Every structure is written in structure tokens, then in C-alpha cells.
Amino acid sequence: MTDDIRWEVVEESSLSLPDHEAIAALLAQAFPDWSHWYVGGRSWSGMQPERRVLARDQDGVVLAHVGIRRMFITVGGRDVLVGDTGLVAVSPRLQGSGKGRELMERTHAVLDGLAVPYGFLGAGENRIPFYAKLGWHEFPEVVGTFSAFTAEGAGITNTEQGGWMVRPVAAALEDWPAGAIWLNGQEV
């Protein structure tokens, strides 16, 4: 089954309703605690991605997904352009098969193609080692603030320490500014 996987990079505006439904189905499986977000054609939970990396089987079932959006965030009082990366998911039946690594390698190629200074993502504590092995750097003491929208649309300010990760793309990690992160909006 894994030999029949078709990888693609798609722009958000080229996705059809069935595409969004297929992505939402994967995200509901991958994030069962948040499955109430991913119903029907709702294939995002915060900021809608600009580009997506998808893996599909021969029937069009989405087996792996990541969303990326270019945006400015404020770090230590300085605006920084990033490729905000999120909604990283691999079908539970393929976890441990190397498809997550392949998904992130393809994600890195998209970030490189966008020529953003940095890739940026917020990761749960149990996912940090996976991303770190792939070149992402965590800032464990850094506090990040963002708008966390509920499934009903109400926005609330959320602040979290740790789990903020950066991957150098067109800039050096040493040039990442020190200080708190302010997203002034949602995460992908």
C-alpha cells in the first residue's frame, strides 16, 4: 500500500470541496482530541494554509498532510517573516513507516522554494524530538502568544512556553532574534 502513494504540493485555492473533506478526515484521525474541528470540508483549525503537502493513495484518501503559510511574527520586538508550518499529520496506520520523515523533507523543500528566512512551528512536547532530528531547533524558554480560535469562531488569547521551533531556510539560526514570540493572529 505504501508503494502506491502519490505526493503533491497544492495551493490552497486549487483545492476542491472533496479535497478539503479528505484532508479533514485525516486530521480528525490524527488529532482525535480535536476531531470536532475537522468536520465536513473544514481542513484547518487556525490560519488557513497557503500551501499544503499531501500524500494520497490510489483512491484519493489523504495519508499525510502539512500546511504552510508565509506570515510575519514578532520576536523580541522585531518582525520576522516565517513559513508557519502546522497541521502535520500522518495516517495512524502509516505512523512509524518513515512517511512522517518524508513528509517533512518535502515540507523543507517547499519552505526552501518559498525562500522564507525560517520555518516556524509550535510542537507538543512529545513531538519535539522528531522535529529536532530533522533540523528544527526548539526555544524551550520562549513564551509565545497567539489567537486561539474555537471551533465556533470565538477568539481567545493563548500564551504557551516552550514547543516553539524554528528551521533556518534562507537565514542563519544565529540571526533568529531573542525574546518572546507574538503571532498577532492564529497559527496554521
Residue 60 lies in a domain: yes
66: domain range? 2-182
Residue 70 lies in a domain: yes
Residue 29 lies in a domain: yes
Residue 26 lies in a domain: yes
Q: 158-188 pLDDT, tens per residue?
A: 888 989 999 999 999 999 999 999 998 778 8
Q: CA separation (Å) from 180 to 7, 36, 77?
A: 36, 31, 8
CATH number of domain containing 157: 3.40.630.30
Three-class DSSP category at 161: strand
What pTM value is reported for the model? 0.91
Residue 96 lies in a domain: yes
Residue 34 lies in a domain: yes
pLDDT less than 70: residues of the chain: 1-3, 149-154
Which DSSP symbol is given to 179? S
**In whole angstroms, how large is the CA radius of gyration of the chain?**
16
Contacts of 148 (CB under 8 A, 6+ apart): 46, 155, 156, 157, 158, 186
pLDDT at 37: 86
pLDDT at 1: 45
Per the structure, how many domains does the chain have? 1
Residue 188 lies in a domain: no
Residue 187 lies in a domain: no
Look at phi and psi of residue 85 and say left if phi exceeds 0, alpha if psi is from -120 to 50, else beta.
Answer: beta
